[in-house]
Chains A and B, each alone.
Chain A
């Protein structure tokens, strides 16, 4: 086999004999050069891949490693019965790499069509941003529509998952829930208040991107995504709907400007319903104006008017100078000229018991009671019932109201304060004050969260609270100012209020706030409600006529929904002691159409 064995047959001249070894020697040179070069290359590869790899890897990482957020869904907001009030739905945002899209600009019309935009406009937009790598074409498209766009297969068009908030109950719960912005952060209402809880923490992942910006590989999770936590509200969607509907009807009926309804659970301070009008559609916030978006029940201030009288009465009973039946108060013919000011009632009620002052809503009586009370006691009672303080409900933009410090009160102010002028409260504060009376003088912090643990505070003794509630029952009884607020088979305790609206430089003569605050069933109050209707222009403006029926209708439904047993079953029997005007006996009009107190023209001394 050896090729060295040269045979005689093939060997020729000496010259040729030398050819073999000569070629071999030369081959050694060639092989040597090649081997050296190969070794050099291998050494170079070793140098790149083992010795100095870090530098090249760092350079590479700088080019294609990116940290990307991992979108998390926002927590769902449920009502107290587990009905969803705000849900996050996955949406697709379409984005593009302009340069890549412009390369195939013949596809732009198709793209524009599927996006629902003008082709020329789209092209202009892309051309303007041609030096960027990322441009949103359309945010938050429904997934099917987005898929249709992606199915066009246009190079450079990509999608990105996002979440959009959807509010199934729309404008009904709009004010309580608020809304989120396009980046899924709460902007108003509870969405804002509990943003941290709901939003969760978007995770972060390190990804490898190709040069076109497409993610090709997830390398590692930098931060774990924490999806938003769910929130169960104290709101009862059914009662909320009820309140909203009745409020809306009343606004139409009385051509009122705006209105609020607040329903609290008397035992816990939970907000069961809070409806405001005008409202907006939280699913399309863009079309609304700020005045529509205000949660009037918490941000707007009003003078409580006569609805303050039960609180005054609480102070009066606490002072020991008054009991529900004594002393008798002479309302002096319906007018009391006090310090040059005419405090007057709608009628001349003659001599009234303290209960009568509540029943008939006598301003003169209330002023007399106020003047007999120690200012600190009266101030402290008002303050204790939460006026002038935020309720700490945690709702963004909640107003604290205004209650001036008692030692600054001048006598006239004090008298006026007795029937609800000269201080500002929010509807929620008013509801909370009534809830305190309803729950035996124990105040709870109003809350929107189901089962929230608030620290109850005893404000007044249960006896006094019970007495005041008892006095308020007469308001809806025949002869009271709010027989329209009666509910069949339930005793309603409440108080009307009709206040002149404050306007620039005084009080407006013909603009009123019609209010009704009350609780049911009065024998063991479960629900507290406040109905405020602002500036009713047609038919009536008295709290008893405008807000009372709203209260009655909402509460009637709420009591039924909550299975609250009736406490006034006597009305089932014909000729029972408290026959409802619209109750079981028939639909004869109320025989007692008493009118509410005519508010004073000018309360500012």
Chain B
């Protein structure tokens, strides 16, 4: 099923793709840590809500299972399918984002309209939007390479798209995701070859917008500033953060032991979602945090490395998708970890692959699937290249069946 692990010698028939093993290991490792930590942190939460100790664990495993199915589907889908329908996907993304504001369909929780009410389960469109944005940006970068590299106007379109998404996210409001979208967009455009000056120009109008957005509502302003000194008001604004810091501080080098966290016992809010890293820090200590950071670094590093290879062998779409998804994963992880450590203002961002939370788990799995698919196709292209150099006569016609049309397409764009 996967392209690795077969030790049997088989006759080569065409270029073979393979999923990147270290990346897969990192992703599966993170998801496994996630299951364990969700189990550990959610039992107390579920217990205090009197809904059965394993309520959240069951939910998490269910979504993770669904996510695996989704990831499996994504891993078997040719990326060109996404590339072809990138614009349709983008339309769907906007529809989803707008649907949040439709009465009865959108749900308001904690003063934010982030959820779609799909009768049985709630769905957070932003998770899908993140994936779609990356796909759209990648396809745009492939299609409009020249203009991006040379003209400022080439940047306008992705800017409008990203700006639109950011605007809708700020309306929800979902400041954390908006930041993430902006950061990933900028990074992708940068990796796509935009000139630094353009990027600077592009960022210029963003700055005051961000400042206005951050200061427009008092609660966000408070959140922005309270993280600097959470001990000033540890029972209101600084509450979550102080609890999180206490948890992490208790962890020391190796933690208090799995399951032994105290702050998860109704002290730390959102212990199984946004603040799961605090529980990891308390139960597994610095070692646990280093493990999580290390696995994320491995995943992001492999994603970027293979993306770079893909771009260099001409698999530009796969490469940009790999860039975008790795960055999306990595940046969200960083923000979430930073929030838990009190290094960033408190935002409602989950720790990807680890935190519990329906649509987030589902779509993160899907992202991981697409990322793995990108590595598969890049490896396949590399294999084709390899075969072409070693035995051109045999390999070339066959190998380029999948790759060559894309190359031409890219050139045409």
Interface set of A (CB-CB < 8 Å, partner B): 1, 3, 5-7, 9-10, 12, 19-20, 22-24, 26-27, 29-31, 34, 37-38, 40-42, 44-46, 48-50, 52-53, 55-57, 59-60, 63-64, 153, 155, 208, 210-212, 216-217
The minimal Cβ–Cβ distance linking A248 to chain B, given in whole angstroms, is 56
CB distance from A302 to the nearest CB of B (A): 65
User: Contacts of A212 on B, CB cut-off 8 Å?
Assistant: 48, 266
Bound together, the chains give a CA A22 to CA B180 distance in angstroms of 25
Q: Is B334 a contact of A10 with CB atoms below 8 Å?
A: no
Name, among A22, A38, A55, the residue most crowded by chain B CB atoms within 10 Å (CB to CB).
Answer: A38
Whether the pair B334, A38 counts as a contact (CB closer than 8 A) is yes
Residue among A7, A19, A60, A63 making CB contact with B311, cutoff 8 Å:
A19
Are A38 and B297 in contact, with the CB atoms below 8 A? yes
Choose among B289, B389, B396 the residue that contacts A45 (Cβ–Cβ < 8 A).
B289
Give the complex CA separation of A155 and B265 in angstroms. 15
Given contacts A60-B247, A64-B262, 6 further A-B contacts (CB under 8 A): A3-B382, A23-B311, A49-B248, A49-B285, A63-B267, A210-B44
Across the interface, which residues of B come within 8 angstroms of A41, CB to CB? 293, 334, 337-338, 341, 343
With A3-B309, A34-B330, A212-B266 as known contacts, state yes or no: A60 contacts B382, CB within 8 Å.
no
Instruction: Say yes or no: is B193 at the interface (Cβ < 8 Å to chain A).
Output: yes
For A48, give the chain B residue with the smallest CB separation: B248
Instruction: Please tell me if B353 contacts chain A, counting CB pairs below 8 Å.
Output: no
| Neighbouring B residues of A12 by C-beta, 8 Å | 411
Q: Are A60 and B262 in contact (CB under 8 A)?
A: yes
User: Taking A7-B389, A34-B300, A48-B341 as contacts, is the C-beta distance between A60 and B251 under 8 angstroms?
Assistant: no
A42-B293, A49-B252, A56-B249 known; A211 vs B341 contact (CB < 8 Å) = no
Known A-B contacts A23-B191, A57-B246; the reply to A49 vs B281 at CB < 8 A is yes
Produce 1/0 per residue, B293-313, CB < 8 A to A: 100010011001000110111
Q: Which residues of A contact B252 (CB under 8 A)?
A: 49-50, 53
Can you sample 11 A-B contacts with CB below 8 Å?
A1-B386, A23-B308, A34-B300, A44-B338, A45-B281, A45-B286, A49-B285, A52-B249, A53-B252, A57-B249, A59-B245
Q: Does the CB pair A10–B48 fall under 8 Å?
A: no
Contact residues in B for A211 (Cβ distance below 8 Å): 265-267
CB nearest neighbor in A for B319: A23
A53 to chain B: which residues have CB within 8 Å? 249-250, 252
List chain B residues, Cβ under 8 A from A50.
252-253, 286
User: B70 within 8 Å of A by Cβ?
Assistant: no
Cα-based distance from A19 to B319 in the complex (angstroms): 13
- B266–A59 touching, CB < 8 Å: no
The contact of A31 among B304, B334, B411, by CB within 8 Å, is B304
Chain B: CB-nearest residue to A1: B386
Chain B residue nearest to A209 in the complex (CB)? B265
Q: What separation, in Å, do the CA atoms of A249 and B133 have in the docked complex? A: 100
Cβ contacts B257-288/A at 8 Å (1 or 0 each): 00010110111000000000000010001100
A22 to B249, Cβ gap below 8 A?
A: no
Which single member of A27, A31, A34, A56 contacts B246 (CB below 8 Å)? A56
Chain B's interface size range is 35 or more
B308 and A38 contact, CB distance less than 8 A: no
Closest 6 CB pairs of A and B: A56-B249, A210-B265, A211-B266, A60-B246, A20-B312, A49-B286
- A515 CB, nearest partner CB in chain B, Å: 69
Contact with A along B132-166 (1 / 0, CB 8 A): 00000000000000000000000000000000000
B312 in contact with A48 (CB, 8 Å): no
Q: Closest CB of chain B to A12's CB: distance in Å?
A: 7
- Measured CB to CB, the residues of B under 8 A from A are 44, 48, 50, 187, 190-191, 193, 231, 234, 242, 245-253, 260, 262-263, 265-267, 281, 285-286, 289-290, 293, 297, 300-301, 304, 308-309, 311-314, 327, 330, 334, 337-338, 341-343, 382, 385-386, 388-389, 396, 407, 411
Q: How far is the CA of A69 from the CA of B7 in the complex (A)?
A: 65
Q: Write out the residue numbers on chain A whose beta carbons fall within 8 Å of the beta carbon of B260.
A: 217
A27 to B307 CA separation, bound complex (whole angstroms)? 10
How many residue pairs link A and B with beta carbons under 8 A? The number is: 142
B386 partner residues in chain A, CB cutoff 8 A: 1
On whether the beta carbons of B187 and A63 are closer than 8 Å, the reply is no
**Among the listed B249, B289, B343, B411, which residue makes an inter-chain contact with A40, where contact means beta carbons less than 8 Å apart?**
B343
Asked if A23 and B193 sit within 8 Å, CB to CB, the answer is yes
- B327 in contact with A30 (CB, 8 Å): yes
Give B50's nearest chain A residue, CB to CB. Answer: A155
How far is the CB of A568 from the nearest CB of chain B, in Å? 78
* A82 → B minimal CB distance (Å): 47
CB distance from A104 to the nearest CB of B (A): 8
Instruction: List the B side residues contacting A216 at CB < 8 Å.
Output: 262, 265
Contacts of B311 in A (CB 8 A): 19-20, 23
- Given the contacts A23-B191, A30-B190, A7 and B265 also touching, CB distance less than 8 Å: no
Query: Is A22 in contact with B313, judged by CB distance below 8 angstroms?
Result: no
Complex CA gap A26/B252 in Å reads 37
Q: Please name all residues of chain B whose beta carbon is closer than 8 Å to the beta carbon of A153 when the two chains form the complex.
A: 50
A29 proximity list for chain B (CB < 8 A):
190
| B193 near A46: Cβ-Cβ < 8 Å | no
Give the docked Cα–Cα distance between A531 and B58 (Å): 77
B249 touches A49 (CB 8 A): yes
Bound form: Cα–Cα A5–B293 in Å: 33
Taken together as a complex, chains A and B put the C-alpha atoms of A64 and B243 apart, in Å, by: 11
Knowing A30-B304, A38-B334, A59-B242, the reply to whether A3 touches B253 (Cβ < 8 A) is: no
- Residue in B closest to A51 when the chains form the complex, CB atoms: B249
| Nearest B-chain residue to A103, judged by Cβ | B50
A52: which B residues are within 8 A, CB to CB?
Answer: 249
Smallest Cβ-Cβ distance to B411: which chain A residue: A12
Please, which residue of chain A has its CB at the minimum distance from the CB of B311? A23
What's the nearest-Cβ distance from chain B to residue A116, in Å?
24
B411: chain A residues at CB < 8 Å are 12
**Which residues of A sit under 8 angstroms from B253, Cβ to Cβ?**
49-50
Q: Which residues of A contact B313 (CB under 8 A)?
A: 3, 10
Q: Which residues of A contact B247 (CB under 8 A)?
A: 60
Q: In the complex, A64 Cα to B245 Cα: how many Å? A: 15
Nearest Cβ distance between residue B413 and chain A, in whole angstroms?
13
Whether B250 contacts A208 by the Cβ 8 Å rule is no
Most buried by A among B250, B285, B309, B313: B250
Shortest CB–CB separation between residue B351 and chain A, in angstroms?
12
A57 surroundings in chain B (CB, below 8 A): 246, 249-250
CB closest residue in chain B, given A45? B289
Verify A55–B191 contact, CB threshold 8 A. no
Q: How far is the CA of A26 from the CA of B196 in the complex (A)?
A: 10
Contact yes or no, A30 B337, CB < 8 A? no
- Cα A10 to Cα B389 in complex, Å, equals 11
Contacts of B388 in A (CB 8 A): 7, 9
The interface residues of chain A lying within 8 Å CB-to-CB of B286 are 45-46, 49-50
A residues near B285, Cβ cutoff 8 Å: 49
A258 to chain B, nearest CB (A): 58
Q: Is there an interface contact between A49 and B251, defined as CB atoms closer than 8 Å?
A: yes
Cα A6 to Cα B50 with chains together (Å): 63
Task: Report whether A23 and B312 are in contact in the complex, using a CB–CB cutoff of 8 Å.
Answer: yes
The reply to whether A22 and B267 contact each other, CB–CB distance below 8 Å, is no
A42 to B289, Cβ gap below 8 A? yes
Give Cα distance in the complex from A45 to B260, angstroms.
19
Chain B proximity of A106: nearest CB distance (Å): 13
Query: B250: which A residues are within 8 A, CB to CB?
Result: 53, 56-57, 60
Q: Given the complex of chains A and B, what is the CA–CA distance between A37 and B343 in angstroms?
A: 11
Counting chain A CB atoms within 10 Å of each CB, the highest count among B281, B311, B389 belongs to B311
- A217 CA to B250 CA, complexed, in Å: 15
Contact A48:B245 (CB < 8 A) given known A31-B304, A64-B262: yes
Q: Is the CB of B293 within 8 A of A38?
A: yes
Alpha-carbon separation in the docked complex, A22 to B334 (Å): 26
Residue of chain B at shortest CB distance from A6: B312
Most buried by B among A12, A45, A50: A45
CB-defined contacts of A23 to chain B, threshold 8 Å: 191, 193, 308, 311-312
**Inter-chain contacts of B338 with A (CB < 8 A):** 37, 41, 44
Q: Within the assembled complex, what's the spacing in Å between the Cα atoms of A335 and B327?
A: 124
Instruction: List the B side residues contacting A42 at CB < 8 Å.
Output: 289-290, 293
